């Protein structure tokens, strides 16, 4: 038996990377308009689940992001990141800067940023569907 966990509100499935450099921090990733999480272990987290806080996908036993639609890249900076640096880091993230051919993660590392974490979250009201067969998992 498989279980599909579906957020009922658009934009309630996110992937976030956190980078730091001395006293500076940036968070970047994807916000999916629609998506779901798939697991073959019956979800029991729902008993203590708070829709306002959500849950990290890694904390759902067997949980993996299954289907996602209409992702939007987002990036945020701490107040300690200068505006010029924000502009350059944003261009790298959105790949609008032809100066770099590597992935944004590699370029950030080359620029002295440390990758602190990479996590996915689901929040808001959820619907859990029981499935007889596993759907094709993709991103």
pLDDT of residue 139: 42
Query: Which tokens go with 11?
Result: 């934009």
Q: What is the mean pLDDT of residues 14-25?
A: 97
Asked whether 39 and 1 are in contact (CB, 8 A), the reply is no
Q: How confident is the model at residue 136 (pLDDT cuts 50, 70, 90)?
A: low
Comparing CA positions, the residue from 86, 45, 84 lying closest to residue 63 is: 45
Rg (CA), the chain: 17
Whole-prediction pTM value? 0.82
pLDDT of residue 5: 95
DSSP 80: T
Asked whether 134 and 28 are in contact (CB, 8 A), the reply is no
Q: How confident is the model at residue 101 (pLDDT cuts 50, 70, 90)?
A: confident
Strands of the chain, DSSP E: 2-7, 13-21, 24-39, 55-56, 64-77, 114-122, 126-131
pLDDT of residue 102: 87
């Amino acid at each position: 038996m498989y279980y599909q966990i579906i957020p009922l509100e658009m934009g309630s499935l996110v992937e976030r990377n956190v980078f730091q450099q001395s006293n500076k921090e940036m968070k970047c990733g994807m916000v999916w308009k629609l998506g779901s999480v798939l697991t073959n272990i019956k979800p029991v987290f729902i008993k203590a689940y708070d829709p306002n806080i959500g849950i990290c996908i890694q904390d759902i036993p067997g949980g993996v992001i299954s289907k996602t639609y209409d992702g939007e890249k987002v990036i945020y900076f701490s107040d300690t990141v200068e505006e010029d640096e924000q502009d350059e880091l944003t261009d790298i993230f959105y790949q609008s800067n032809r100066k770099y051919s590597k992935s944004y993660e590699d370029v950030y590392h080359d620029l002295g940023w440390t990758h602190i974490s990479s996590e996915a979250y689901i929040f808001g009201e959820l619907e859990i569907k029981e499935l007889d067969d596993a759907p094709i998992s993709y991103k």
